[in-house]
Structure 1
Amino acid sequence: MKTITHIKLATAREERLQQIDTLFPDAAGPDLGAEWQGGRAAALALLAAADAQAYARTRNHLSGAVTHLSPYIRHGCLSLQEVISDILTRFGAASAKLVSELAYHAYFRQVWHRYGEAILHEMEVPKVPLGQRPLPAYVTQGITGLVCMDEVVRDLVRDGYVHNHARMWFAAYLVHWLKVDWREAADWFEALLLDGNLASNHLSWQWVASSFSHKPYFFNRESMQQFGGERYCQQCKVRCPFDADYATLEHTLFTPDAVPTPIMLEASSKASTLTAPPARRMSSAGSQAMIWVHDEILSPTHPLQTDGRPSVFVFDPQLYGHWPRKRLQFMADCLVEMPNVETWAGNTAEVFSHLGASSIVTQETPQPLLKQAVAGWPVEWQTEPALTARVLESHDLMRFSRYWKKAGPDIMQQTENG
């Protein structure tokens, strides 16, 4: 993609998906299936079907009543505030478990804002020795011979979605059994997710690894059968590495040597800083500020969509060229519901220059790639909505339990207009 191009997204979905194939011919993976459709309409239907009581009872089971809302929250089709407000209104006190799990989105986001790109590195000294082996091809190809792990890879590649419990099992297998470098594994996994998010993904891998938690997460066959059923084990033909009690596995996986005392790293010493070149000078007499719709605010009801100024989304290969095909198509589904947004393809900065923008207005983000895309432009970064106005200390952000103790009471009392 060497030039900027104005894109008129087709209303017919098959034609629209083909447009993405044309724009990104090297995008990996299959097309977005009918079971996953981007956009606010699909998101609202899933939200209406969410059952907080069933979720609380069954969420850890692979067949449980999970909401499947994460890709829509990630891309801003629904705001976290409206999701929580809806759940609280319908289920009251019975929604506590679902609301607390939804709050992880806000929690990880706050950690990302506070610590920046440091989340891509170990936040604390690991509590157990970790390996640095490269990610094996037999894992990424889904041919480990372990049906449970290979199914995770197939779900990831096919759908871009994996149940959270299965994500934890898979991460533990790579980090603790295979001693793979968690950073490489997390990067690969996040790149294939429909709800891919650096903060929630990488900090979750660190939680499993024990560099963002008090202890490592691991599991055994009995636990997997309890929450995943017998289907994996019945098909598996190899010796199960998970078939032992926890004491035996702990002895097998982790050396008995003493591990270093955890250290807390202050935000000021961890956060990275992006250095922007001087702001561009725009000389066009007809220039004006324009709204930049990026991949975190794909909703026709976002406050910036009522601003009245021109809105622009850019399929920028520097931002999205590494994304899987289905995720690009998911965004196209979202954009077709946003008729006031002009869709372009090419370099973001060049598109705004071509359109004669004097400056850019958009929602704040901790995502460095998004900030780099408009580096040098005068940008008004509007503060993104927060679930609570309470300001939390760095210490409170190092564990979700501490965050929830402080922020939870405010979140549980919120209303749609509060």
Structure 2
Amino acid sequence: MELSRAALIAEVRTSLGNFSIDLNYTGARRTVSHFMRLAKGEQPWLDEKTGQIRSGVPFYNGLKFYKKEGSAASIPKYIQAGARYPDDPAVFISNEKQGAGYVIRDEIRHYAGTSTLVVPHGLYTVSMANTGPHSSSSQFFINLVNDTWWNERNSAFGVVQQQFIEYPENGSPYVSYNGRDVVNAIHAASQNVTIYSVKFRITNNTPTEFDSSEQATELPVFYNRQISSLMHTPTNVVLNYDSVVPASETRVWFSLNLFNWSPFPSATTYASAGAAPVITFNHGGARQLFLRSTMAAYPVSTVPDSLDGEIIRIALGKPYAQPQTNVVQLYFDPNGLEHTYYSYTSQSWGTFVYSLLQGGPYHGDMEVTYDGSENVTYQLYFGGANQWVTEDEQMRAIINPDASAPIEARWYYQ
């Protein structure tokens, strides 16, 4: 009845029944650690509606499976949870982008020298939801069909088990639910199902080689950030901060009465290095305004200060530059003088200039002008080599948000 091997199990209790997740703590160490810390209240998180920093509060308790996809045959079938305020107009954050107030890196690992995933997607896999590379936060989904579309896109970290086993204080363990029937019932339910709690236990022998705190050093630290000066104009408020904290994101919330708070949709800034941040936003004519400012300081940032000396190959469509059509390869001069590119489409060389604006700890926007004519903006995601991952994993990927066809790229170190 119980798994015979050592396993780390997440017990999820809901308003429609309970199910358990066999967490792949060897194949997705960072993702499992983050999920555990959020669920147990060990990882501080940011209430994205009020701007309050929550410590010691289990994140998932009381949240709902708010998203249920798969009513049509062409749509992947899954259920999703982890958004605190779905469909709340006062949050000004779309459902898919809500989270714990920060993002984590993807953990898409391959066996050494192969393209085989360590944790592939399949029937009843549990995976982190995202809105692009390295944008996962708190939301997770459960795959209800044997759908591998998510491979190379999302970080899978566990599988829903068929048996949910109760362990009474007095008496023998017994199976109380078929966990897979429960998640299917959540998908079929007419009302959103509430998560009561997420707790953890081990089977057989303790997985002693796993420690949920070992990956915590990559998670951000939250601070209430002091505003050094404020300027009020008939239309705008300008906030100044007295210091710059590298790899940090500053946000601002407002209230008219100190009871109801909302975030300013545009009052978010990411600082990599250099000058202290300045935030400007429209106050809508308010004569009285209360402000709250927080900062998430990331201990790890994978976005380089400069691309000089590197090579980026940008390929429209898949697979990567095979065959080598619709491909441009950018060569960044080591001295930062004259950058050149080669177009496989026209089989021609040229020069370009660029600027790199860091937009977060793992991505930035690069504006490129080719030979003084064509101006293109690429959004770059610098994931870096994941910890516990073999050396064949490279930085990935590049996406042009304005292109109709997906842009993928590989990053080459010199």
**Which TM bucket (shorter chain)?**
under 0.3
Larger Rg: 2
Compute the TM-score of the two structures, normalised by the length of structure 2.
0.20
Q: Highest relative contact order (Cα 8 Å, sep 6+), 1 or 2?
A: 1
Hey, which of these two has a bigger chunk of strand by percent? 2
